[in-house]
Chain A
């Protein structure tokens, strides 16, 4: 079924129409054949009727001859002699006519089928001469004559019967049968005539003629009844009209005579005449019927022929019209379908310029129109789509590309974040530049930031992003908590970590009620931050310069000059020692450095160069830390670097000093100070500075022996020693005013310094303060804690031994390390200076009363001193 549905329309038409046409043609052929057979049948019947008529004419004459022959034989030729001759001629004439007819070519085809009957008929007819000769010689009796003639007639009538009883036409067949019955009836009438003629011709009534007559009449009546039953109305009418008159009634009268009397007195000729009259009437009916039948068959043939031709003509005509119509319609349909199909193929292939042209108004025509309308709409839609596409392309070209250009060039890092915090694939080029990373698209923003920011900021950022996407939270409120608003990021670039200062801001992008994404804007503020820092630094520098200037201005330029010179030399001694350090004992070098630095700090403070003292204090810190661990060359170098920084500061100070040098030159040119004055100035200034820092009030009583020759070689060590002593006193010895009052001392502390000429070309320096002196118990506790002495050793120490402890390295009574007090190294520093000068040191004290140090420095020659310095 599916295969049937899949056939093309052309094949479907073929499948439907071809069997139909074949069937119609077959029916047509059958009908034509039928008409032709009807015609043939009619023709054949017509010919058969013609022959039948000839035969029936002959039979009629033979019937007459039979009756005449019987009459002739009954009275031995008395009567009917003439009649007989005349009749025989008549019979022969019809016989020869029949033979002529039978030989006619037009009947040959018909007669072939009836050869047997004809042969039989001819044989019987040939008997006729013999019968006649026997009649002439009176060798036959009546019955034999009747029998012979009847045989001949029987054969002839049988032939007629066979010839005409062959038709397809019902009416004709019925009438043929009627005629046959009629002929039989007439034959019996004729036999009755013959028997009557014999009966009335002879006086011998030995035979029971009456019963024979009755039999003949009844046979006659039976055939007539059968004839009347099936005959057509016209023949019946003709029969009844014809079979009237005197002869018919006379025949009845004669018949009655035969029944009533055994010996009727009747003239056989009269009987013959009367009966012949009747039989002639019958013949008349027979002729009428045969003539009618002849005409009928002729009509039938003509009708059949006409029907045949009319049907043939109509057939051709209708066939032609039908075929033409079908061909026209089907071909048109197929053509239109093909046109439509071709068109749809073209449209499918994209050719839309043409329109399908089908001018029929059937469904296909409508389809074509609809299709054209559809195509128009399609084209218009296409054109709309194209316009939209062009517009979209235009938009893309002009807007997207513009935004791309903007994104390429904008200085801010701009991108969008989706709900999963993924960075949009479209982002401004600046993002890559800021993070020095090109793998940004689709990265999770928090994860991306994690290695670049502080862990605490990362934690805050995660929380912040969550709130930022929460529509219940006010954007401004959340943005107040932006943890990366100003943040420092760390980026590894070529293996080096660099930091940048960025500002990140977030803006919600809302569609309807939903927060669709977050617009992130990142600004690299490194430059401005660095600029700010730079400005701050510059400001600091300026501040430093000012500080330098202040330092210079408030410090005596000579002292400063000296300080710079001395400090440089001292610093140089450290690096020299480091370079000459063959033993590799860095610990010893470190201790030396420490002492030296501490000395510098003291000088810086007494000189009032805070800049240097501050820095030196830091270096002291570094060294202290280093003292607790194993010193390495590297670490020691770092100290040297720091000292180098001091050197640089000194250079700066030097430059600054030179700048203002002129001023000082002019100011102090005439006012050259002696070394004694310088020492006094230095000491007083130093004390002032120390007092200011500690908020203590201390007086200095400085007595310098006029005779003393304060050589430049002594000046520096003496100053260092006294500075250190003053710091110790103020830091540890002299109490604050409150404490002093409570102890019943003068509110203001007092330091006494006396410089005098020693006995052996040296100088003696006596230093004393009126402070706490030394609390031996506390000292012992510290000494034990520092591990300087054991418990056993602590028993029975005299003042001298206690004083020895004070000068030990690392000893301090203060736990507090500040610029002022140092770390208990004060006395050890003094001791080392004294030892360097080959001098002696004597310490005496009284708890809560005084602390005194007496230093004696021998007169050393210039060379040896320089070597030590």
Chain B
């Protein structure tokens, strides 16, 4: 499956890359802002997208909205701050299917990816 990482922080990109060994996910692109992300979605039609909710230029919710119009089957996982649950819920409303709270570590990333891809704990389908 194809994965697109939308995050303005390269640390996040690296964290995700490090934890993909167990998953059948191939990174098809990394975007550091919303408009870049939308272009990549148009080109690659990724199955899975991880997206930081706070980004320069275009915020995560608007970006998510655009992505859902272009590619509604994409499974989008939002990376949000724990304190702002309303934004998280708005993201659910717009079509997001998963969440990770900051700060992101291996454990919560794997757990969120398992949820998103509906895998059980052992990683089997």
Chain A: residues with CB nearer than 8 A to chain B? 456-457, 459-460, 463-464, 467, 473-474, 476-478, 480-483
Contacts and interface: CB of A to CB of B under 8 A. Distances in A.
Contacts of A456: 86
A483 B89 contact: yes
A457 B93 CA distance: 16
A481 B97 contact: no
Q: Which of B85, B90, B98 has the most CB of A within 10 A?
A: B85
B89 A477 contact: no
Contact of A480 (B86, B90, B93, B101): B101
Contacts of A467: 89, 92-93
Contact of A460 (B86, B99, B115): B86
8 contacts: A459-B86, A460-B89, A473-B92, A474-B97, A474-B115, A477-B97, A477-B115, A481-B88
A475 to B, nearest CB: 10
Nearest to B98: A477
Given A459-B86, A476-B115, 8 more contacts: A464-B89, A467-B92, A473-B92, A473-B97, A474-B97, A477-B92, A480-B99, A483-B86
Nearest to A464: B89
The 3 A-B pairs at the shortest CB distance, nearest first, are namely A460-B86, A463-B89, A483-B85
Nearest to B96: A477
Q: Which of A456, A474, A481 has the most CB of B within 10 A?
A: A481
B114 to A, nearest CB: 10
A477 B114 CA distance: 11
A503 B59 CA distance: 30
B115 A481 contact: no
Given A476-B115, A477-B115, A481-B85, A463 B99 contact: no
Interface residues of B, number: 12
A26 B88 CA distance: 106
Contacts of B89: 460, 463-464, 467, 481, 483
Contact of B99 (A457, A477, A483): A477
A443 B99 CA distance: 31
B80 to A, nearest CB: 9
B86 to A, nearest CB: 4
Contacts of A476: 115
Contacts of B115: 474, 476-477
A740 B84 CA distance: 49
Contacts of A457: 86
A457 B85 CA distance: 8
Nearest to B93: A463
B86 A482 contact: no
Contacts of B88: 480-481
Interface string B95-113: 0011101000000000000
A478 B91 CA distance: 11
B112 to A, nearest CB: 8
A467 B85 CA distance: 13
Contacts of B92: 463, 467, 473, 477-478, 481
A623 B92 CA distance: 50
Contacts of A474: 97-98, 115
Given A476-B115, A481-B85, A463 B98 contact: no
Interface of B: 85-86, 88-90, 92-93, 97-99, 101, 115
B52 to A, nearest CB: 16
Contacts of A460: 85-86, 89
Nearest to B92: A467
Contacts of B99: 477, 480-481
A456 to B, nearest CB: 6
Nearest to B77: A477
A575 to B, nearest CB: 45
A271 B28 CA distance: 170
Contacts of B93: 463, 467
Contacts of A478: 92
B124 to A, nearest CB: 18
A464 B88 CA distance: 10
A481 B81 CA distance: 11
Nearest to A462: B89
Contacts of B86: 456-457, 459-460, 463, 483
Contacts of A473: 92, 97
A482 B99 CA distance: 12
A474 B118 CA distance: 9
A44 to B, nearest CB: 123
A457 B88 CA distance: 12
B105 to A, nearest CB: 15
Contacts of A483: 85-86, 89
Contacts of A477: 92, 97-99, 115
A482 B98 CA distance: 14
A478 B86 CA distance: 12
A467 B86 CA distance: 12
Contacts of B97: 473-474, 477
A482 B92 CA distance: 12
B109 to A, nearest CB: 13
A467 B115 CA distance: 16
A457 to B, nearest CB: 8
Q: Which of B88, B89, B98 has the most CB of A within 10 A?
A: B89
Contacts of A481: 85, 88-89, 92, 99
Contacts of A459: 86
Contacts of B101: 480
A483 B99 CA distance: 14
A478 B99 CA distance: 9
A482 B86 CA distance: 9
A485 to B, nearest CB: 8
Nearest to A463: B89
B11 to A, nearest CB: 22
A589 to B, nearest CB: 46
B113 to A, nearest CB: 12
A480 B97 CA distance: 12
Nearest to B99: A480
A456 B90 CA distance: 12
A478 to B, nearest CB: 7
A171 to B, nearest CB: 117
A177 to B, nearest CB: 125
Nearest to B91: A481
Nearest to B90: A463
A358 B98 CA distance: 78
Contacts of A482: 85
A480 B79 CA distance: 12
A456 B88 CA distance: 13
A460 B86 CA distance: 5
Contacts of B98: 474, 477
A471 to B, nearest CB: 13
Nearest to A475: B115
Nearest to A481: B88
A450 to B, nearest CB: 15
Nearest to A470: B92
A477 B86 CA distance: 14
Nearest to B118: A474
A421 to B, nearest CB: 15
A456 B85 CA distance: 10
B83 to A, nearest CB: 10
A85 to B, nearest CB: 160
B77 to A, nearest CB: 9
A463 B86 CA distance: 8
Nearest to A476: B115
A459 B97 CA distance: 20
Contacts of B90: 463
A467 B96 CA distance: 11
Contacts of A464: 85, 89
Nearest to A473: B92
A463 B85 CA distance: 10
A264 B89 CA distance: 168
A263 B85 CA distance: 174
A702 to B, nearest CB: 54
A482 B101 CA distance: 13
Nearest to A478: B92
A42 to B, nearest CB: 119
